[in-house]
Amino acid sequence: MSHTLPDDTVDHGARAAFREAVAGLDASLEGVALTPEDAGYPEACAGYNLAGRRHPDVVVTAHSASDVVEAVTFAAAHDLPVAVVATGHHAMRPLEGGLLVSTAAMDDVHVDADARRAVVGAGARWSDVVPRTAEHHLTPVHGSSGQVGAVGFTLGGGLSPVLGRKYGWGSDHIVSLDVVTASGEVVRASAEDHADLFWALRGGRSNLGIVTSMEIELFPVDRFVGGGLFYDGEHAEAVLSAFVAATATAPDDLTLSLAFLRLPPVPGVPPLLAGRFVLHLRVAYLGDAAGADDLLAPLRAAAPVIVDTVEETRAVDFERIHNDPTDPAPFSEETSMLAGVGPDAQRALLELVGPTSDTGLHIVELRQLGGAFDVTRPGAGAIVAPEAAYVLWALSIGMPEEDADGIAQARALVEAVRPWSTGSRYLNFAPDDGHPERSFTPTDWSRLLHVKAAVDPRNLFRTQQPLIES
Ligand SMILES: Cc1cc2nc3c(=O)[nH]c(=O)nc-3n(C[C@H](O)[C@H](O)[C@H](O)COP(=O)(O)OP(=O)(O)OC[C@H]3O[C@@H](n4cnc5c(N)ncnc54)[C@H](O)[C@@H]3O)c2cc1C
């Protein structure tokens, strides 16, 4: 998208009028409205994935739902497309122009322990939410990283490495969403009210409006057995085969994922992983240590384990399973949902990312689905994947313009496993490459477009994985 507003060098008068209008917007906010000339603008636009550069005409750091209303109303009046960022974990296409709403400051969390529900602000990260629910021995359907935003994660599906196989997708456990629509209205969308919008937001995300808070269900989980088994990369064939065998028979209480890690020797990467090829088997078991030991025995025997961190864990310490990096970095991602990973698929994977490959991909992960992920619940959102057994996720670190090889290798990997793919891709791991339809069934895709046309006929929300390009 090109800049939507006059450039200084082109039209001083129009630019000054716009800056004055932004000053008016700023005065109406609890947060602030900033243009590129203002101090604080780069910080307000920043996010975790440095590849997702943002350079809007104006950024609003919202502190409340009414700030979001003011921002959307301003954008509509000035014909500016609207984008939203919470943490910036998802690499969206570069944002040039328009109005960006940052929800980072809206991080309130309220827990109703009796109802087993929480109301989570649009900017809350899982590290804001889980400690609060843990006080009541309850856990939400959270992701692997505490840094990821709860709302963005959940609207994009919500694949939990701890609770998912037992309780299903996070998006299935949203009770209601408060959302500011393109008309500047605040509505509460739920199974009872604005049901079409409620369905579409769970997949259509910021194409439909800006969620200001989300009410979610909580589950009575306060401990699990979890951590990781690390192996030298030379054992990839044996470990991959043992992983696939274990996932085929695992109870729904056990969730496994296997990552092929080739992390650079940079600050923040532990010495064990820096500059070498390591396999990381990620484990979460909603049971006791003895049960976990029985289930993990074949995996511990598959190859020499360099480090074993699996132990009884408080629910609040979930980040020790994946140990996701916390420092911002640029990266590109690719993904595919796989129906199975039989011997031929394993061979294809090993050829491209095994010990004899010269891949530059830094992280390639196979996440186990199945169990409750397979259940399409009545009232589920636009994201369902009943026939997928695994999600493949490939990440390449680097700014996109300097990482053509990594991006090409990630695409080649997805292409190589196409024979085993369900043809769909998981929205939360999907690149913003102009093919949002690939995350939905054809029926859901046409329903999404229908809801979009009804709630945002001017296509104000068209900048992030747009359902309809401008
Ligand atoms: C290290 C790491 C670990 C991850 N682990 C998991 C995991 O275990 N399971 C999983 O499912 N995913 C996981 N993800 C993917 C993550 O869930 C997605 O990138 C998600 O989109 C991030 O949401 P965010 O709000 O943090 O990021 P942002 O980049 O701020 O937002 C991403 C998108 O979410 C939408 N969005 C955010 N806030 C709003 C809002 N208020 N209203 C409407 N739309 C909104 C917008 O479309 C936005 O572009 C992981 C990603 C990383 C980098």
Which of 102, 123, 141 delimits the end of a domain? 102
pLDDT (0 to 100) of residue 213: 98
Do 130 and 35 share a structural domain? no
466 inside domain:
no
Give 430's DSSP letter.
-
Do 270 and 326 share a structural domain? yes
CATH of the domain at 191: 3.30.465.10
Tell me if 42 sits within 8 A of 61, measured CB to CB: no
CA distance 155 to 171: 6
Question: In this structure, which residue's CA is closest to atom 7 in ligand 1?
Answer: 143
With the most atoms of ligand 1 within 8 angstroms of its CB, the residue from 127, 153, 160 to mutate is: 153
CA distance 354 to 234: 8
At 350, which helix (H) or strand (E)?
helix 343-353
CA distance 470 to 459: 7
Do 184 and 133 share a structural domain? yes
Tell me if 400 sits within 8 A of 407, measured CB to CB: yes
Do 280 and 155 share a structural domain? no
284 inside domain:
yes
pLDDT (0 to 100) of residue 4: 56
Tell me if 239 sits within 8 A of 303, measured CB to CB: yes
| Ligand 1 within 6 A of CB of 44 | no
| Ligand 1 within 6 A of CB of 139 | no
Give 387's DSSP letter.
T
Q: Which residue has the tokens 């289930």?
A: 295
Do 202 and 119 share a structural domain? yes
> Cα(470) to centroid of ligand 1, in Å?
23
| Ligand 1 within 6 A of CB of 155 | yes
Task: Give me the tens of pLDDT residue by residue for the chain, a chain 470 residues long.
Answer: 334 565 655 578 888 899 999 999 999 999 999 999 999 999 999 999 999 899 999 999 999 999 999 999 999 999 999 999 999 999 888 899 999 999 999 999 999 999 999 999 999 999 999 999 999 999 999 999 999 999 999 999 999 999 999 999 999 999 999 999 999 999 999 999 999 999 999 999 999 999 999 999 999 999 999 999 999 999 999 999 999 999 999 999 999 999 999 998 888 888 889 999 999 999 999 999 999 999 999 999 999 999 999 999 999 999 999 999 899 999 999 999 999 999 999 999 999 999 999 999 999 999 999 999 999 888 899 987 778 999 999 999 999 999 999 999 999 999 999 999 999 999 999 999 999 999 999 999 999 999 999 999 999 999 999 999 97
Pairing of strands 223-232, 311-314: antiparallel
Do 413 and 283 share a structural domain? yes
Do 93 and 26 share a structural domain? yes
> Cα(103) to centroid of ligand 1, in Å?
13
460 inside domain:
no
pLDDT (0 to 100) of residue 1: 38
Q: How many CA atoms lie within 13 A of 310 on its CB side?
A: 31
Q: Check residue 398 and give left, alpha or beta (phi > 0: left; psi -120 to 50: alpha).
A: left
Given the CA of residue 148, which atom of ligand 1 is nearest to it?
A: 26
Do 120 and 74 share a structural domain? no
7 inside domain:
no
> Cα(155) to centroid of ligand 1, in Å?
8
With the most atoms of ligand 1 within 8 angstroms of its CB, the residue from 53, 68, 89 to mutate is: 89
Do 298 and 251 share a structural domain? yes
Give 233's DSSP letter.
G
In degrees and rounded to multiples of 5, residue 368 shows phi and psi of -75, 135
Tell me if 179 sits within 8 A of 199, measured CB to CB: no
> Cα(354) to centroid of ligand 1, in Å?
29
CATH of the domain at 318: 3.40.462.20
Do 368 and 413 share a structural domain? yes
Question: In this structure, which residue's CA is closest to atom 6 in ligand 1?
Answer: 143
Which of 77, 102, 127 delimits the end of a domain? 102
Given the CA of residue 143, which atom of ligand 1 is nearest to it?
A: 8
470 inside domain:
no
| Ligand 1 within 6 A of CB of 149 | yes
Which of 102, 127, 156 delimits the end of a domain? 102
> Cα(149) to centroid of ligand 1, in Å?
6
Q: What is the total count of domains within the chain?
A: 3
| Ligand 1 within 6 A of CB of 205 | yes
With the most atoms of ligand 1 within 8 angstroms of its CB, the residue from 63, 84, 108, 160 to mutate is: 84
Do 325 and 244 share a structural domain? yes
| Ligand 1 within 6 A of CB of 181 | no
pLDDT (0 to 100) of residue 270: 87
CATH of the domain at 52: 3.30.43.10
Question: In this structure, which residue's CA is closest to atom 36 in ligand 1?
Answer: 152
DSSP string, 96-107: ESSEEEE-TT--
| Amino acid (one-letter) located at 307 | V
| Ligand 1 within 6 A of CB of 45 | no
Structural domain boundaries, residue 26: 12-102
Do 207 and 123 share a structural domain? yes
> Cα(200) to centroid of ligand 1, in Å?
16
CA distance 402 to 398: 6
Q: What sign for the dihedral angle of Cα 356, 357, 361, 363? A: negative
pLDDT (0 to 100) of residue 2: 39
What's the CA angle centered on 255, arms 92 and 200, to 5 degrees?
40
| Ligand 1 within 6 A of CB of 148 | yes
